[in-house]
Amino acid sequence: MSERQQLYADSDITVGTYTPTPLWDEVDNSSDASFITSGTHITSKTCEVGLNTGEGDPGVDTASLPWRYVVRMKQDGSPGQQLTAVISLYQSTTLIATRTGIALTTSFVSYGDNLSDAEVASITDWTDLRVRVVTTGSVGLPRRSTVISSVYALFPIRMDRTRIRGTTIGGSVATTIYDATLN
């Protein structure tokens, strides 16, 4: 089974024109019913949220699992502008990874970016990871808004821990997950 830790937004770094605030409180879940909106675009719009620290540095090469950050978003409003997004993972103010040229649609889509081995190796502080979203509107009216419903990252868990899921007993599945340190 996959051994993943999911890091959610838990702080605001750059609010810009986005509402409502705090931004992280709307995008720290998988529900499209809670979201943040940029307001109508004239030029580019930027927001950035900090991620919680999860279990921290996975510490070793776990290349069989993708290291991934995800932004679920769409463009809102009448046909006219086309919004294009750039999503980036930062450690503090240092760029770790970026994905450009995301053409938003009018339905929510989860756009992810997998980190390369070199990008993973460039992360030295797992307590200050951030995700920045920059969207730019094409020339054209009516103007549109960027809408973001979820921001998170998926990383492997530490390799010096193992998880043992309970076996089926009497027809019900034990749901407790046990952590055991091996060394």
Q: Does 31 bind Ca ion (CB under 5 A)?
A: yes
Cα separations in angstroms, 9 against 50, 90, 130: 6, 13, 8
Whether 160 and 182 have beta carbons less than 8 Å apart is answered as: yes
Whether 90 and 129 have beta carbons less than 8 Å apart is answered as: yes
Q: Does 149 bind Ca ion (CB under 5 A)?
A: yes
Q: Which residue is nearest to Ca ion (CB)?
A: 34
Whether 58 and 166 have beta carbons less than 8 Å apart is answered as: no
Stretch that binds Ca ion, among 8-16, 121-129, 143-151, 154-162 (CB under 5 A): 143-151
Residues 98-137, one symbol each (x = binds Ca ion by CB under 5 A, - = not), give ----------------------------------------
CB of 75 to Ca ion, least distance (A): 17
Stretch that binds Ca ion, among 25-33, 63-71, 112-120, 172-180 (CB under 5 A): 25-33
Whether 130 and 13 have beta carbons less than 8 Å apart is answered as: yes
Please give the Cα distance from 114 to 87 (Å, whole number): 11
Residue 168 in tokens: 């089926």
| Interface residue with Ca ion, options 34, 37, 62, 136 (CB under 5 A) | 34
CB of 105 to Ca ion, least distance (A): 18
In the bound state with Ca ion, the residue whose beta carbon lies nearer, of 34 and 53, is 34
Please give the Cα distance from 101 to 74 (Å, whole number): 14
Q: Which residues bind to Ca ion, rule: CB under 5 A?
A: 29, 31, 34, 149
